Amino acid sequence: MTVFSGAGISAESGVPTFRDVETGLWAEVDPYEISSADGWRSHPDRVWAWYLWRHHMMGAVAPNNAHRAVAAWEDYADVHVVTQNVDNLHERAGSNQVYHVHGSLFEFHCDRCGAAYLGEVPAMPEPVESVDPPRCACGGLIRPNVVWFGEALPDRAWQQSVDAVINADVVVVVGTSSVVYPAAGLPELAVASGTPVIEVNPEPTPLTSTATVSLREKAGAALPGLLQRLPALIG
């Protein structure tokens, strides 16, 4: 089984999604200003402050029933989790094969020499406008290991994700608006090869019309009973 997850799977843990019109992160800030390689070059202090706040928030919340259900499926199947999320809630719920196609907000590296940063990351319980990022010994700035607009996806995670999708017997797509490419192309690979694709999302998405089944349900309600429903859903 391959699970392809987006921000919606973490919504019930209290992590805001990106594109919700009222509460989404992109309703609050300009994505390109705060989450792009250009934005980092022109104002790293604002980008760093924003990621510190998200890092703190993601560390302060807990996995929900949906993350836990995915982890529990490992008792019955070889489960691979491809996630666009930079939180670590799948791992904290107990999933063992997680591929972060958009990176992780729990790892940091130097933007000049690439060295991993293992130092302290300050607590940031409330958002602030500006915090200077730490400096590496080489003089570069420490940045999060997340993929920004204008950057390539990490090669290894991407290859593992493609392999997980093309080798799956069933793909469960949960909590993603399916609009951000190339990640959104992964479920399309499964559709093209005739693999059953089950979408779980309270709202319709561009994937809905081609998915084998689309469940208009929240992840925390749908995922705990999904394995038992599989025969009825996909035969």
Catalytic residue numbers read 102
16 annotated as a binding-site residue? no
Q: What one-letter code names the amino acid at 44?
A: P
Q: Going residue by residue from 49 to 78, which x/- string records binding to ligand OAD, judged by CB under 6 A?
A: ------------------------------
**3 Cβ partners below 8 Å, 6+ apart?**
70, 79, 80, 81, 82, 83, 171, 172, 173, 174
Report the C-alpha gap between 6 and 4 in whole angstroms: 7
13 annotated as a binding-site residue? no
Beta strands in the chain (DSSP E): 2-5, 80-83, 98-100, 103-110, 142-146, 171-174, 197-200, 213-215
Burial of 81 (0-12, 13-18, 19+ CB in 10 A): buried
Omega before 127 cis (within 30°)? no
Instruction: Tell me whether residue 128 or residue 179 sits nearer to ligand OAD (CB atom).
Output: 179
Q: Going residue by residue from 23 to 52, which x/- string records binding to ligand OAD, judged by CB under 6 A?
A: -x----------x-----------------
User: Strand, helix or coil at 103?
Assistant: strand
CB of 17 to ligand OAD, least distance (A): 3
Instruction: Tell me whether residue 38 or residue 203 sits nearer to ligand OAD (CB atom).
Output: 203
Binding status of residue 112 toward ligand OAD by CB under 6 A: no
Binding status of residue 6 toward ligand OAD by CB under 6 A: yes
Binding status of residue 17 toward ligand OAD by CB under 6 A: yes
Rule CB under 6 A: which residues touch ligand OAD? 6-8, 11-12, 17-19, 24, 35, 84, 102, 147, 174-177, 180, 200-203, 205, 218-219
